[in-house]
Structure 1
Amino acid sequence: MQITDSAHGEVTVLQCEGRLTMTTARPFREAIEARITGGTTRLVLDLSATEFIDSSGLGALIAGLKRARQAGGDLRIAGAGTQVLTVLNLTNLDRVLRPHDSVEEACDGW
């Protein structure tokens, strides 16, 4: 998985490309932790290029959400594809980590 970031106002957008699985969950969590430790607490994960997520990936998303909220911020997801949305829906995590259609929509209200 490749992760690149960009600024969208006061929000940092992380573009996540590839598969979020057991082998990539740890570096994914570390990337989120590095941004939060660096002072960024408002994160949007652009999952439009994330083609697959498994249970380890879900755990990494929840860990990132928890860490961002502990730091006084939030973590939102945007642009998730069918497979990611299906997994979020089946696990009811879409109620905790509400998916947004676009990065702009996810950034609204901050």
Structure 2
Amino acid sequence: MHPKIGISHRDEKGWTVVEVHGEVDVATVPRIREYVSACIDAGRHHLIVDMVGVPFMDSTGLGLLVGIGKRIRTHTGDLRLVVTNPGVLQIFRVTSLHRALPIYDSVEAAMG
């Protein structure tokens, strides 16, 4: 059985907004990594990962986002996150990753 995860993207105002819906964990990270890698390979180096639809994320998800951030920076790109779930936000705060990965409360704010 495949884990339930929804991933889509759209290009808007010079950004690629990748929307993720569902749990980001060891079961879903490979699919998310593959999807985002395809976006980066296609030349999309200014990414906003919209995680408003993510109710749960584990350390595998954190590792994925750190890896995406590193890969984007090698292309002189930019990675921004949209996170509103208090539980998911707490993971970033506990690990201090909110200092390395900019987090916004809406896609519009992330586009700034």
TM-score calculated relative to the size of structure 2: 0.92
Pairwise CA RMSD of aligned residues? 0.9
Q: Matched residue pairs, number? A: 108
- Residue type matched to 1:89 in 2? R
Q: Give the one of 103, 106, 112 matched to 1:102.
A: 106
**Which residue of structure 2 aligns with residue 20 of structure 1?**
24
- The CA distance in 2 between the partners of 1:93 and 1:27, in whole Å, is 22
**Which residue of structure 1 aligns with residue 65 of structure 2?**
61
- The CA distance in 1 between the partners of 2:56 and 2:33, in whole Å, is 16
- Residue type matched to 2:19 in 1? Q
- The CA distance in 2 between the partners of 1:80 and 1:98, in whole Å, is 13
Tell me the SS of whatever aligns to 2:35: helix
What are the superposed Cα offsets for residues 33-78 of structure 1, whole Å, 9 maximum, x if unpaired? 1101001000001110011000001001111111111111011101
- Structure 2 gaps of 5+ residues are none
TM-score calculated relative to the size of structure 1: 0.94
Where do 4+ consecutive residues of structure 1 move more than 6 Å?
Answer: none
- The CA distance in 1 between the partners of 2:49 and 2:102, in whole Å, is 12
Matched, 1:4 2:8: yes
- Structure 1 gaps of 5+ residues are none
- The CA distance in 1 between the partners of 2:48 and 2:84, in whole Å, is 12
Quick one: percent identity of the two aligned structures? Answer: 34
For the 8 Å contact 2:79–2:102, the answer to whether it is kept is no
